[in-house]
Amino acid sequence: MSKRVLTTESGAPVADNQNSATAGVGGPLLLQDQHLLEKLARFNRERIPERVVHARGSGAYGYFEVTDDVTGFTKAAFLSEVGKRTETFIRFSTVADSLGGADAVRDPRGFALKFYTEEGNYDLVGNNTPVFFIKDPIKFPDFIHSQKRDPFTGKQEPDNVWDFWAHSPESTHQITWLFGDRGIPASYRHMHGFGSHTYQWTNEAGEAFFVKYHFKTNQGVRSLSAEQAAELVGKDANSHQTDLLQAIERGVNPSWTLYVQVMPAAEAVDYRFNPFDLTKVWPHADYPLQRVGRLVLDRNPDNVFAEVEQAAFSPNNFVPGIGPSPDKMLQGRLFAYADAHRYRLGVNHTLLPVNAPRATTAQNYGRDGLMATRNGSRHDKNYEPNSYQGPAQTDAALSAPLAIHGWTGTHEAPAHVKDDDFFQAGELYRLMSEDEKARLVANIAGSLSQVSREDVVEKNVAHFAAADPEYGRRVAEAVAALRD
């Protein structure tokens, strides 16, 4: 079987791919060597800006299968009947480090899922924790700056990390998750996933419900101690990527069972916690988990750059029957995620194969811009309304309207009966066994003891003490022992 002919990007055959053109034997290179210049110029431009957060990631294709009837809560077509399957793509990631960072580190994990539904793509972006560090998006750039590499030292600095947390008591709940036993997953397959935010479901009758998503791993939760993680990073910095890739290649297809918590919209106003606060959970005793279906991953991407790095997820990609809630962090992300991809990949990133709808066709009036590959013909008008049978609106809202009242301005979120920054962190601490508590305290102290300012240490210890007096006392004693 003869080989295909190597060509330039314009399709011209390449005579010699081993030697550059020169002015005589051993002479200087020639500017007219198109193949050389094209290769070097393209090589210089092979990288795109990495994500500011969630830069280091892995992905896989699979499907979501409905196992339980949820039509009483949502009219979403991909959830409309038991047994229905929808193609999916998922991207797992670490949060703080760069593209070259290690996998087995203490950091939240991104859990971003794209459903290729017949009504358009539905993107669900979440983490492997049900809560987050902050509750208002205006603090997000500051938070990430505190976690990223310091401009002077070029590395993550405990002074910066804990200084921000010292001034952000709402972080106490997530810190307790992060420094607990599940802070370093053994692999992407062995961790839960959460939508984290509160979303809205709407049924055919127009009734609205608020929901939280829980993806429970069917492989069982497995995590690493700090010592095990350090050893693994030394052996394979790409450990989670390796594990996911090899498992699927062997036919060991990881899966998760999706459950939701469902809150009738009318109950949100008087619920004991603010149901739209990303630093809070809904206790299962109040809103039990209801099974929806299962997610199965069964195919690896053929090209990591094309399908994992160029994968773009945005929480504003909704479908009929699913919409946003007043969750302030979610509201901020409705803009920020899509805008990040327009910056990284260009305004036409939704035309890339991994991002384009698969079970339907996108039909809109978006035109032009860099890398425009679907611009229509002379018969396609680029304005609406028109008289040429172009795409038209449906007049059917995707989700139920949200009632609003009051004055515009900068407001703190409304306080509910049990809203404070520490109660749920204390509840989480008290659920732990003695061994779990000891490891949590040791993990926190190992990091907090590196902080140079005593006042920052004291502020953070006060947060743990407010969550639970024993929690604060043990952290203070452990930090003091390490600083002696």
User: Is 54 an active-site residue?
Assistant: yes
Locate 415 and state its tokens: 């306080």
Active-site residue identified among 35, 121, 127, 341: 127
DSSP sequence for 449-477:
TT-S-HHHHHHHHHHHHHH-HHHHHHHHH
Angle between helices 454-467 and 469-483 (to 10 degrees): 150
User: Is 192 an active-site residue?
Assistant: no
In angstroms, what is the C-alpha Rg of the chain? 25
Query: DSSP class of residue 191?
Result: S
Tell me the longest C-alpha to C-alpha distance in the chain.
Answer: 84
Residue labelled with tokens 């109660």: 423
Nearest by Cα to 414 from 287, 268, 283, 284? 268
Contact in structure between 350 and 327 (CB atoms under 8 Å)? no
Q: Determine the straight-line distance between the first and last CA of the chain, rounded to whole angstroms.
A: 73
Contact in structure between 458 and 466 (CB atoms under 8 Å)? no
The 3-state DSSP class for residue 266 equals: helix
Could you tell me the CA-to-CA distances from 388 to 363, 373, 376 in Å, in that order?
14, 22, 13
Active-site residue identified among 35, 54, 197, 240: 54
Nearest by Cα to 383 from 396, 364, 362? 364
The enclosing H or E element of 350 equals none
Residue labelled with tokens 């998922």: 90
Q: Please list the active-site residues.
A: 54, 127
